[in-house]
Every structure is written in C-alpha cells, then in structure tokens.
A = this chain, B = another copy of it.
Amino acid sequence: MSPRRVTLAEVAEHAGVSRTTASLVLAGRARELRISQSVEQRVVEAARELAYRPNAMSVGLRTGMSRTLGFVSDTVATSRLAGDMIKGALEAAREQGLMLFIGETEGEADLERGLLQAMHDRQVDGIIFASMFTRAVKVPAALTAGPAVLLNAVPKRTSPLSSVVPDEVEAGRSAARVLLEAGHRDGIHLIGAGPRLRDVPPEALAGVQRLTGISEVLAGARVRIAGGHVCVDWQPEHGYEATRQLLEDTRPRALICLNDRLAVGAYQALDDVGLKVPSDVSVISFDDHPVASWIRPKLTTVALPHYDLGHKAVEVLLAEIDRNREGTPPRGETYRVSMPVRTRDSVAAPDA
C-alpha cells in the first residue's frame, strides 16, 4: 500500500538536524546522547507538525522486532465456539501495541507448516499455537525455533513451550459441588462419558479431567455416580439419545452433562417424557455456550474462560519473548485458568 507517509528523513530536514539526531530524540535517547533541549524540542515539534509515524516494516527490519504475534490454531477463530479466546488475545496484544496475525490449519499438517513459515517470514515476535478443544498436541519443530506458547493444549512430549489451559479438574469439582450443595445425594447421572475414567477416550482431555474432578468430589462426599452414558461426540443429538436411553431404564434426579450441547439434547429428551427441569431433574453442564442462556430454563454451567485463556496466552508469550531476548531458556510451564460457575435456573433441590 503506497499512500504517502512522512519519513524520519523529512522530520530531520524540517527540524534542521541529521536523521541520526531525529531518530535518537524520538527514541527517547536525547539525554543519553547529550542532545540539547532546543534541538530535542525542534525534532519533537517537527514530528508532531508532520504527524510522523514510523514505518513498522523499517523498524522491524532494523531491530528484528516486528511488534506482531502469530496466532495459529485448528479452528478457534472460525468455529463459532471460542471467539472470546481470540478476543482476549487481541486485547492483550493491543494493550502492548502489538498486532495479531491469525491462521487456521483445520488440523492439516501441510497448512500448519505453511502458516508457521509465512509467520516466520514476516518476522513475528512470537507465536501462540492454539487448539479449539483442549488436547495434547505434537509440537511442530518449526514452533520451537523462537518464542511460542501453547493455548488450550499441552505438549504430547516434553517441550520447552509453556501451556495455558482451563482448569478442567477444578471445573469438575465445581459442578459436583453445585449438585451436592443443592442437596443431591443419589440419582446423579453423567451424559457424555463415564462413570469410570476409562470410559473416556484419553485424548478427550477435557472429558478425562472433568470426570476426574467430578468423581473426586462426589467420592469425598460418599456419593455414588449412578451411571454414565458415553457419547461418541458431544453434540445435542448425542445428548438427546443418551438421555432417551437413560429414561428408558430409570428416573434420574440430576444430570451432569459434559458440555452444553449435550445438555440441549438432554432437555429435549426430558421434555419428550414430560419431566421438568429443575423441579424433576436438575441439570448442570460445562462451557457456557450462548445456548446455555437460550434454553428454558436457563442452564447452570461451568464456563470455559476463553477470554482469560487468550489474554493469558499473550501475557505468557510476551514474557517468553523477553526471556528469549535476554538469552534465557523458555519457561516450559503450565498455567491453569479457572472456570467460573455460571449459576442460572437448571439446578434445584431433589424432589421427594
């Protein structure tokens, strides 16, 4: 794009000094280089009058810092589910005067390689490697060439990269506590997976961790999980079918749906047989998808902290960039972001 811009050379000429002097003044180094107040004033004034803004490409080429970050993910920006992750990252970046390049791989290795290359070609200061669903990832070699952070992902193998993930175990504990606090002691069923840990595919990290937390708290209260219904995928249809099957066998008092879309399906199945939420059956879930507040009654759910995840990832990445500049090795730490309970209308005391 070629719209005319004011160059530093023009500012220098306007102020009647060399480009070097102008550069040093605007970089805040006037004192250090013993430039007089009057020259400094002239430069600052000229820059203001001419509305000078540095060309970021030029600065980047000279300094090796482009003031841009890369955000590479499978489908975060485009899946309609985790937009707040991007939002959090965008805001954290903006606060520091940085811009974000977005790239989506759809999980394809070739696309991923091309994107990482394109970002490195553009000299990004660092890269956030994000996953739509919490999972363990194979860290691409190209990613460790410079500062990078995993977002909503943990490395499959030992890696120098730090991770930022939701605290899913604690979320499971929270969900169980909500039911216990409402008075539920039996008839608690899982929709989506369980009741044993081995009923969850190990790659479904969120499921494993949610169930871990749920089991821990219920066991601690000597409450048994009455049953679990495995779903091959966590969409409304699967929640509907699982709940239909459950209702053929028994009358549940509470459902822990492993995500909100499963809960949508559970609501539909309960409605089909005339059971009311929450007077007949309480429902608690995870994610806080917008649909949670569209269904009636509104769903109590433990929220994925997308915004905070994205924001934290940028913070951690910036720390890694600083570390890299100082020649310090990467931190390789896992940061867990807590998941708040969104209390709505789907949980009540068990009926008699």
Residues of A within 8 A of B (CB): 1-3, 5, 53-58, 60-61, 64-66, 68, 77-84, 86-87, 90, 94, 97, 99-104, 111, 114-115, 117-126, 145-147, 235-236, 240, 261, 264-265, 268, 271, 290-291, 294, 296, 321, 324-325
Q: Is the CB of B87 within 8 A of A83?
A: no
Q: Is the CB of B121 within 8 A of A56?
A: yes
Chain B residues closer than 8 Å to A121, beta-carbon distance:
53-56
Q: Is the CB of B81 within 8 A of A147?
A: no
A-B residue pairs in contact (CB < 8 Å), sample of 11: A2-B324, A2-B325, A53-B121, A56-B122, A77-B83, A77-B90, A80-B83, A94-B111, A100-B101, A102-B102, A268-B296
* A1-B124, A1-B147, A268-B296 known; A99 vs B77 contact (CB < 8 Å): no
- Most B CB contacts (10 A, CB to CB) among A54, A55, A97, A321 go to A55
CA distance A3 to B56 in the complex (A): 19
- A87-B104, A99-B101 given; name 19 further pairs at CB < 8 Å: A1-B66, A1-B120, A1-B124, A1-B125, A1-B324, A55-B61, A61-B61, A68-B122, A77-B102, A78-B83, A78-B87, A79-B83, A90-B102, A99-B122, A235-B294, A236-B294, A240-B296, A261-B294, A265-B294
Q: Is the CB of B3 within 8 A of A145?
A: yes
* A1-B64, A1-B125 known; A294 vs B291 contact (CB < 8 Å): yes
CA distance A261 to B65 in the complex (A): 45
Q: Is the CB of B99 within 8 A of A2?
A: no
Assembly stoichiometry (copies)? 2
Chain B residues closer than 8 Å to A79, beta-carbon distance:
83
Chain B residues closer than 8 Å to A120, beta-carbon distance:
1, 3, 5, 53
Q: Is the CB of B68 within 8 A of A78?
A: no
CA distance A302 to B303 in the complex (A): 31
Q: Is the CB of A99 within 8 A of B90?
A: no
